[in-house]
Amino acid sequence: MTTNTEDGSTGGEVPIAGPAGGRVRPGRPRSQERRSSILAAAGELMLEGGLPAATMEAIAARAGVSKATIYKWWPSRGAVALEGFMVAVADTWSLSTELSTRDALYGLVQRAVQLFSQGPAGPLMRALAAEAQSQPDIAQALREHWFGPRRALAAVTIRRGIDRGELRADLDVPMALDGLFAPIYYRLLFSHEPLDDDFARQLVQQLLAGISGPGISRGPSS
């Protein structure tokens, strides 16, 4: 999924996938096979050792390409490393279009909570956020390849909820997106309070208390 706006106003399907899809299909040009190999290598290195492990030299060696080949598609190490990481975890971000708005938002938060509380993704995101303060390429890569696509996915869900009457017609979508994601990253980066299922349910409940329309289901997420 791609988006040209911060609030993610976009059409198309709900699942997020990396630009290269992370898979090589029969008949694809060799250049695209190389691109997919580079993303796979970058994602593996990020999950194994974080950003310090995902050097241009290491990515090139694992993918079996030259550094010049990597620079054909990405302007910096941060860009390719983060995109590779996004492809590696893409399967954790998909939703059925048949879910209610409540359950769809809960699903988004639950997936984020599970991703950051299990395995290397949480510490890796903390490291990337720290690097982004002094490295503009990392900050740009985070916006374009991490936050942007996830806000876009949530924006589709919220706009669908507005169309269904489950959310307020006058809802400020970017502000609602901030309310959905900011508490997750506050706990991840600053307070280190639990990121668990109870938190996911409470967050969605509190958010919906302020943005619900007349058609919202009042029952708890299941």
pLDDT one digit per residue (tens) for the chain, 222 residues: 433 444 444 444 444 444 444 444 454 577 889 999 999 999 999 999 888 899 999 999 999 999 999 999 998 888 899 889 988 887 666 677 788 999 999 999 999 999 999 888 899 899 889 989 998 888 888 898 889 988 999 999 999 999 999 999 999 999 999 999 999 999 999 999 999 999 999 999 999 999 987 766 655 454
- Say whether both 100 and 146 belong to one domain: yes
Task: In whole angstroms, give the CA distance from residue 157 to residue 107.
Answer: 11
- Say whether both 207 and 117 belong to one domain: yes
- Say whether both 106 and 198 belong to one domain: yes
DSSP structure class, residue 186: H
- pLDDT at residue 16, rounded to an integer: 46
- pLDDT at residue 6, rounded to an integer: 40
- Say whether both 102 and 205 belong to one domain: yes
- Say whether both 79 and 173 belong to one domain: no
Q: b vs e for 113-150, b when ≥16 Cβ sit within 10 Å of the residue's Cβ?
A: bbbbbeeebbebbbbbeebbeebebbbbbbebbbebbb
Q: Look at residue 69 and tell me if it is in a domain.
A: yes
DSSP structure class, residue 191: I
Q: Look at residue 121 and tell me if it is in a domain.
A: yes
Q: Look at residue 22 and tell me if it is in a domain.
A: no
- Say whether both 134 and 41 belong to one domain: no
- pLDDT at residue 215, rounded to an integer: 65
How many domains in the chain?
A: 2
Q: In terms of C-beta density within 10 A (0-12 exposed, 13-18 middle, 19 or more buried), how is residue 200 classed?
A: buried
- Say whether both 80 and 133 belong to one domain: no
Task: In whole angstroms, give the CA distance from residue 189 to residue 145.
Answer: 19
Task: In whole angstroms, give the CA distance from residue 167 to residue 173.
Answer: 10
- Say whether both 162 and 191 belong to one domain: yes
Task: In whole angstroms, give the CA distance from residue 105 to residue 141.
Answer: 25
- Say whether both 159 and 82 belong to one domain: no
Task: In whole angstroms, give the CA distance from residue 202 to residue 89.
Answer: 25
Task: In whole angstroms, give the CA distance from residue 38 to residue 6.
Answer: 28
Token pair of 206 as six digits: 């509190």
- Say whether both 111 and 188 belong to one domain: yes
- Domain of 39, CATH number, reads 1.10.10.60
Token pair of 127 as six digits: 């490291």
Q: Look at residue 200 and tell me if it is in a domain.
A: yes
Q: Look at residue 218 and tell me if it is in a domain.
A: no
- Domain of residue 141 covers 95-211
Q: Look at residue 41 and tell me if it is in a domain.
A: yes
Task: In whole angstroms, give the CA distance from residue 49 to residue 57.
Answer: 14
- Say whether both 56 and 110 belong to one domain: no
DSSP β-bridge partners for residue 212 = 167
- pLDDT at residue 18, rounded to an integer: 43
DSSP 80-127: HHHHHHHHHTGGGS---TTS-HHHHHHHHHHHHHHHHHSTTHHHHHHH
Q: Look at residue 19 and tell me if it is in a domain.
A: no
- Say whether both 82 and 59 belong to one domain: yes
